[in-house]
Structure 1
Amino acid sequence: MRAFAPTLLLFLSLTIPTIAYDFDSQKPFNHPSSNNDDRIIEIERYDDEQVWRIDWSGYGEKNKNDIMEMVDLFDLDVWHTTRSNIDIRLNSNQLKILQDIIPPEAFKPFIQDIQSLVDETLFSIQDYDEFDISEDINQIEEEDVDEVEADKGDVISIFKSLKKKKKGKKGKKGGNQRPIPKPEPKPKIDPFNLTTIETPYHDKFHSLKEIYKFGSELIKTFNHSTSINSSSRIIVEEINIGNTYLGEKLKGYTAKINHKRSNSIVRANEDNLQGLELEFIIQAGSHGREWVGPSSALYFLHHLLLRATSEPNSDAAILLKSFRFTIIPQINPDGYAHSRDKSRLWRKNRQDVGGKGNCLGIDLNANWGYKWRSSRSTPCSEGYGGKEAFEAYETKAMSEYLSSAAERGNRVRAFIDLHSYGQLFMFPFAHSCDDFPPDAEMLMEAGLGVAKAMRTKQGQGYEAGQACDLTYRAPGDAIDYTYGVTDVRWSYSAELRDTGTYGFMLPPKLIRPTADEITAGLMYLAKFIYALEVNPP
């Protein structure tokens, strides 16, 4: 393999002005727009972009750092890193430049048509009161397609056209046209009927409004309910931990069984737990484009409540008597809404951070205040971590919630941060492997059990280990802060499905299996902590 670092440094020294011009002129978020739909204005397209996987398994740390410096310098969008690979989103100009720098044998296309995957996820964002997409697509006539003022990839425009036709399309006169038989009406299933885990809610991605409606329905369905043959009541409540830069509430949901447990079952050598309610926190949605995290967080809470109400002696009921479960399904609602409505691959929040071009957004998972350092990337970069720790409204609000646990009479024992993609379950530290957690052995043991539980449930392999070893992470990670500052012993970051076939555009058909397997993993973790700290042998 040819020497990488000297080639890179020489190339950059000779071509920085040209490269900088090319990258700035195309700006990662200024793609050709489609104005055919009045609900989504200037929706961003990715027709000229692919995801390329670079094999850097043979590179030393110096060469890997050189690549990451180049990524920061030119605001490239890194999708995923492992010990052996790095996935990067590239347009044709960026690809040509990198192919002149990185050995060609290390380069291969991984996702060759990003836009088609983006289009597929758009199927899942139709409201429940709209038509059944699959039926209408099957019935669309050839001449109907010609009337749609959009290219083949503009699925939203096709949907709009179909919607208009559905309101009443008269038959054409003349010709021997065979009437299209009307399909048998399907029984309408209320997605907000939460008495069953089979609700179709868990088979689609949802708007913020629908996410919060689901939370409200959880409260209506389960608050003050009792387990069968049990006098203990389940308490489900909504909490508000703060506001986003754009003023959106950061909502969460807490659940517990109102059951007074004796302090005698708390571990005797952990006096600092005496009299405190133990809290298990799950956070999702730090990156706007990672839609499956919020879906999985809500599925987990729904599963927990259903099991506890139907089986009084179930593991779910026992856990709810011992822990308060707090779910923050969407910690980045501004970024998530922007990902749904305008820019599917938007990662950051929507905070005004200035910089050249009036850039927006801070990477929430690079803005936490443990070993944080000023970002080398520009404010327009996908990985921009802000000018200072907790500059982002969302990370500041969440950190204040965590640090005020004692004031609520709580002790946070577990914090799980749900992301995608990569199929990993990781413990601290993320910023550097030189910072080794004293609890590493126990964290690894529990993590391996979680990975096994997930694999057993759906057959998908997950790897467990220290975050710095499994991924190339920046300082300012959430789990580094929770473990290193707020002393949350069981801090983990989960990268959910998949390993790159779909990347962030996981199709709706994989929502439920993904949520089901992480639910199995989180239940294992909660029982592991319970056996070790709440009810030890």
Structure 2
Amino acid sequence: MQLPGPKHLFALCAIAALSPTFSSVAAAGIQPSGHGNNNPQGQADGYVPFLKRLRDSTIGWMFGSQKPALAWTDATTVHSRYRDEIVVRFNVTNPEEEAALSRAALQLLLDVWSFNSDYVDIRIHKDDVSGLQSLLPKSLEPTILIPDLATAIWATYPSKTPQKQAKGQKLDGTDDIFFREYQPLLVIENWMRLLQTLFPAFTEITSIGKSYEGRDIWAFRVGQRSADEKGPRKTILITGGLHGREWISTSTTSYLLWSMVSAFGKDQMVTKLLQHFDIVFVPVLNPDGYEYTWQKDRLWRKSRQQTKMRFCRGLDLDHAFGYEWESAQHRTDPCSESYGGDQPFQAVEASVLADWAKAQTEKDVRFLGFLDLHSYSQQILFPYAYSCSVDPPNRENLEELAVGLSKAIRLSSGESYTVASACEGAVAGVYSDSDAYPRLEAGGGAAIDWFYHELKARYSYQIKLRDTGSYGFLLPKENIIPTGEEMLNALKYFGDFLLGNNGIESFPARGSRPDDKKDLKRRDFTG
């Protein structure tokens, strides 16, 4: 990616100069109650529409014409790397089958793409399928999900020609440009800086630390605390990009960020949430791995940290956090995709996030919710990930909210997200904790467990986004906005639940009925 040229720098300067005017006019309609306001939509005398058009056209000018400088410049290079690789699916029905797959994955260092109670997906060279089958029970027969992996990979990179708006897509200005394609790291960083410049009254961008290779890890805070608010600021943390190849998690986190910023003062539910909570977005927790997926290897999962084995770089950030870290230690091979290090918080990026979060709690911040976005399989997972033999104290509330999030998504898009404990392997049950029946991926050192147990984030979830296997990590760009929209509805439900409304206010058509309000039991879910 080349640095912005003179026209882009000029555009940034122009926006920076205009931003105080834009912010003061827009903020006139979104101050907390008691500040006086006769213009709830912030459309003061026509200036905001003009500035909005200027903003949107400038963003299109800046980002719409930039293309990533890929090391892979043509499809031939991609096909050379992934020639004859496929993705296969096994339907696992009992713990013996899961144990056999787990042992085979360790022995052959297989790339397990996904596993749940319905299926296990594995990337493999087509010539190695018969060797894998020789290690498995005869009852396990693979079916091919992705027959040509190289072609599927190439299709996820931005096209060289402008894309037309898909029929029925909800696009408006900035997201029309930014969310038509997956975006490389530098574009995401510039985009966040631009948003903070445009909306300084209720946003803040901060580097929470450096990655192993020295890249900034950016956090974007959105919220507006009223002058009379007392006590620690209740905060929701949303992370994406723990695994480099899961591009949809980064795009969805960015979409939620943009939706909160652009809807503040316009959407009643969003405005209410941001007056009661700060929401902190970290779209790319693993910037080294994410950048590597653009420059070298689209399917790179881990960080880029050097390990004790020279030719096997990278740590799995979701097995690097300190709580019950040792529960994942049957994954001790640095070449494993699930390798979390030789000690807790060995992964630089996991350590940075934990140190920053702990420092925040010492600065009058209270983490109430944590949403860790991943792909794929359309699941909502709650703690604990490390073991099925221990239940979280508020498991009933965790499940209740998770089911509500699933319902919010289903009502939004028709997509089904299943709800489960994060401890469950391909076969649900206590077998996940048994040495005789090891699960496919040990759950120790998970981010959701650490935030739940150590920082007391009472509502901590890992959400695995679209799809259920047709594309896996190579979800087409046409899914960026629909996935973002369904998660936006889930986030509104999440916030409304925390406010004690049990999610009803996030569905106005239903919640506005007298019977719904009569039956509503207001409870404090923030304690």
**Partner of 1:422 in structure 2?**
377
The total of aligned residue pairs comes to 415
Instruction: Give the superposition deviation at 1:37.
Output: 3.8
Candidates 179, 184, 187, aligned match of 1:207: 184
**Partner of 2:434 in structure 1?**
none
Instruction: Give the superposition deviation at 1:331.
Output: 0.2
CA distance in 2, matches of 1:415, 1:69: 32
Candidates 354, 359, 369, aligned match of 2:322: 369
**Partners of 1:281 and 1:412 within 8 A in 2:** yes
CA distance in 1, matches of 2:489, 2:318: 25
The 5-angstrom pairing of residues 66-105 of structure 1 reads 66-102=100-136, 103=138
Q: Which amino acid aligns with 1:369?
A: G
TM-score, scaled to structure 2: 0.74
Q: Which amino acid aligns with 1:209?
A: L
**Partner of 2:242 in structure 1?**
286
Q: Which amino acid aligns with 2:273?
A: L
Instruction: Give the superposition deviation at 1:96.
Output: 1.8
**Partner of 1:132 in structure 2?**
161
Instruction: Give the superposition deviation at 1:463.
Output: 0.8
Q: Which amino acid aligns with 1:202?
A: F
Candidates 494, 499, 502, aligned match of 2:463: 494
CA distance in 1, matches of 2:151, 2:476: 11
**Partner of 2:261 in structure 1?**
305
**Partners of 1:372 and 1:476 within 8 A in 2:** yes
**Partners of 2:302 and 2:315 within 8 A in 1:** yes
Q: Which amino acid aligns with 1:379?
A: P
> Is 1:359 aligned with 2:336?
no
Instruction: Give the superposition deviation at 1:218.
Output: 1.3
Candidates 220, 227, 249, aligned match of 2:197: 220
Kindly provide the CA deviation profile for residues 18-71 of structure 1, in whole angstroms up to 9, marking residues without a partner as x.
xxxxxxxxxxxxxxxx998499988972122111111111x22x5423421321
Q: Which amino acid aligns with 2:243?
A: H
Task: Please state whether the residue corresponding to 1:353 is helix, strand or coil.
Answer: coil
**Partners of 2:217 and 2:284 within 8 A in 1:** yes
**Partner of 2:99 in structure 1?**
65
CA distance in 1, matches of 2:175, 2:99: 46
**Partner of 1:45 in structure 2?**
81
Instruction: Give the superposition deviation at 1:239.
Output: 1.1
**Partner of 1:447 in structure 2?**
402
Task: Please state whether the residue corresponding to 1:199 is helix, strand or coil.
Answer: helix
**Partner of 1:146 in structure 2?**
none
CA distance in 2, matches of 1:112, 1:526: 41
Candidates 412, 415, 420, aligned match of 1:457: 412
The percentage of aligned residue pairs carrying the same residue is 31
Change (3 A) 1:113 1:434: same
Instruction: Give the superposition deviation at 1:198.
Output: 4.5
Task: Please state whether the residue corresponding to 2:224 is helix, strand or coil.
Answer: strand
Q: Which amino acid aligns with 2:141?
A: A
CA distance in 2, matches of 1:86, 1:465: 16
Task: Please state whether the residue corresponding to 2:374 is helix, strand or coil.
Answer: strand
Q: Which amino acid aligns with 1:327?
A: F
Larger Rg over CA atoms: 1
The 5-angstrom pairing of residues 507-526 of structure 1 reads 507-526=476-495
Candidates 119, 134, 149, aligned match of 1:114: 149
Change (3 A) 1:116 1:393: same
CA distance in 1, matches of 2:218, 2:460: 21
Change (3 A) 1:209 1:348: same
> Is 1:406 aligned with 2:373?
no
**Partner of 1:138 in structure 2?**
none
Q: Which amino acid aligns with 2:281?
A: I
**Partner of 1:140 in structure 2?**
none
CA distance in 2, matches of 1:249, 1:510: 28
Instruction: Give the superposition deviation at 1:255.
Output: 1.0
Kindly provide the CA deviation profile for residues 449-489 of structure 1, in whole angstroms up to 9, marking residues without a partner as x.
10111111111111122112366542111101111222111
Change (3 A) 1:315 1:499: same
Mean Cα deviation higher: 338-347 or 461-470: 461-470
CA distance in 1, matches of 2:229, 2:82: 58
**Partners of 2:87 and 2:144 within 8 A in 1:** yes
CA distance in 1, matches of 2:229, 2:312: 54
Instruction: Give the superposition deviation at 1:94.
Output: 2.6
Question: Which sections of structure 2, spanning at least 5 residues, go unmatched?
Answer: 1-69, 166-170, 427-438, 504-521
Task: Please state whether the residue corresponding to 1:293 is helix, strand or coil.
Answer: helix
Q: Which amino acid aligns with 1:333?
A: P
**Partner of 2:300 in structure 1?**
346
Change (3 A) 1:367 1:408: same
Instruction: Give the superposition deviation at 1:376.
Output: 2.8
> Is 1:485 aligned with 2:433?
no
| 4+ runs deviating over 6 angstroms | 38-44, 532-535
**Partners of 2:222 and 2:260 within 8 A in 1:** no
CA distance in 2, matches of 1:195, 1:134: 15
> Is 1:56 aligned with 2:89?
no
**Partner of 1:143 in structure 2?**
none
**Partners of 1:197 and 1:303 within 8 A in 2:** no
CA distance in 2, matches of 1:467, 1:365: 12
Q: Which amino acid aligns with 2:261?
A: L
Kindly provide the CA deviation profile for residues 390-427 of structure 1, in whole angstroms up to 9, marking residues without a partner as x.
10100000111222222221000001100000001111
Instruction: Give the superposition deviation at 1:238.
Output: 0.7
Q: Which amino acid aligns with 2:466?
A: R
The 5-angstrom pairing of residues 456-475 of structure 1 reads 456-469=411-424, 473-474=441-442, 475=444
